[in-house]
């Protein structure tokens, strides 16, 4: 299948090939333009391989669709199943969404994800295993990362992309009481696109801080790990 892809250059990547063992799903916390601006700004030190807008448009910032993946800066300090630093072995996809604990993802985004995952399964044998697809919150939740969030429909994702295989359980880190509070902020969002994007970016930082504090309170050793790797939101 031909993929309709917009190619954008990011300054934030490493020009070497990585083994692709995992696929990591994120939300952007800002709109498409702000996302691309951040990923093209060398001072931000963040990127992801792909961005998928709310209308399903696909942007490739770090090579991955051709069958070889370079190293993106999306995961940051992270661990999963004994593996540390998932930037070294994963592809990152950012779904444009102000906060996946507040706003649902669009049908167009799930459809584009389906196309992209089909391509990845051709190129990267490890990604034929649904266990290899995870959220940023599952590998960096100890730092407060809460994406893709409560409203990313993992059962739908697995049903559409791995229909023959048992779907893993993927639980969001954002507690219900926090999610309910975040939902109330929809009533306070500004109207202009620029202000709205800034508003929700701040809300996502607040979300991360709150999740981290809750995790640290329940597990005092959480969040105390070194923070030195580059990453996305
Ligand atoms: Zn993320």
Give the pLDDT confidence score for residue 229 in this predicted structure.
60
pLDDT in tens, the chain (233 residues): 689 999 998 999 999 999 999 999 999 999 999 999 999 999 999 999 999 999 999 999 999 999 999 999 999 999 999 999 999 999 999 999 999 999 999 999 999 999 999 999 999 999 999 999 999 999 999 999 999 999 999 999 999 999 999 999 999 999 999 999 999 999 999 999 999 999 999 999 999 999 999 888 887 665 455 455 666 55
> Please, what sign has the CA dihedral across residues 137, 225, 77, 229?
positive
SS3 210: helix
Kindly report whether the global pTM for this prediction surpasses the value 0.75. Answer: yes
**What tokens does 37 get?**
């601006």
The rounded Å distance from CA 121 to ligand 1 centre is 22
Give the pLDDT confidence score for residue 219 in this predicted structure.
77
Contact 49, 104 (CB under 8 A): no
* Pair type for strands 83-84 and 79-80: antiparallel
Give the pLDDT confidence score for residue 138 in this predicted structure.
97
Show which residues are catalytic. Answer: 94
CATH architecture of 5-218: 3-Layer(aba) Sandwich (3.40)
Give the pLDDT confidence score for residue 232 in this predicted structure.
53
Give the pLDDT confidence score for residue 222 in this predicted structure.
53
The rounded Å distance from CA 146 to ligand 1 centre is 7
Which residue ranges make up each domain of the chain? 5-218
Q: Closest Cα to residue 47, out of 56, 60, 58?
A: 60
The rounded Å distance from CA 44 to ligand 1 centre is 14
The rounded Å distance from CA 69 to ligand 1 centre is 18
Strands across the sheet containing 22-27: 5-7, 58-60, 50-52, 90-95, 22-27, 133-135
The rounded Å distance from CA 165 to ligand 1 centre is 26
Give the pLDDT confidence score for residue 218 in this predicted structure.
83
Contacts of 155 (CB under 8 A, 6+ apart): 167
Give the span between the Cα atoms of 46 and 69, in whole angstroms.
Answer: 16
């Amino acid at each position: 299948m031909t993929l309709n892809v917009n190619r954008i250059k990011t300054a934030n990547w490493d020009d070497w090939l990585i083994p692709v063992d995992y696929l990591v799903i994120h939300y952007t916390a800002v709109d498409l333009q702000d996302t691309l601006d951040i990923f093209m700004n060398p001072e931000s030190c963040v990127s992801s391989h792909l961005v998928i807008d709310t209308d399903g448009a696909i942007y490739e910032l770090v090579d991955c669709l051709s069958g070889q993946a370079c190293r993106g800066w999306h995961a940051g300090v992270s661990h999963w199943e004994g593996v540390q630093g998932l930037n070294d072995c994963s592809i990152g996809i950012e779904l444009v969404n102000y906060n996946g604990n507040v706003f649902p993802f669009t049908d167009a985004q799930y459809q584009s994800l389906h196309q992209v995952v089909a391509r990845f399964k051709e190129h990267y044998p490890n990604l034929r295993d649904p266990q290899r697809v995870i959220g940023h919150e599952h590998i960096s939740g100890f730092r407060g990362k809460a994406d893709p969030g409560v409203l990313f429909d993992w059962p739908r994702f697995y049903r559409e992309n791995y229909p023959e295989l048992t779907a893993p359980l993927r639980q969001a880190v954002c507690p219900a009481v926090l999610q309910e509070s975040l939902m109330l902020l929809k009533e306070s969002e500004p109207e202009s696109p620029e202000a709205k994007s800034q508003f929700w970016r701040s809300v996502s930082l607040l979300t991360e801080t709150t999740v981290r504090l809750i995790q640290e309170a329940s597990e005092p050793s959480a969040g105390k790990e070194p923070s030195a790797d580059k990453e996305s939101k």
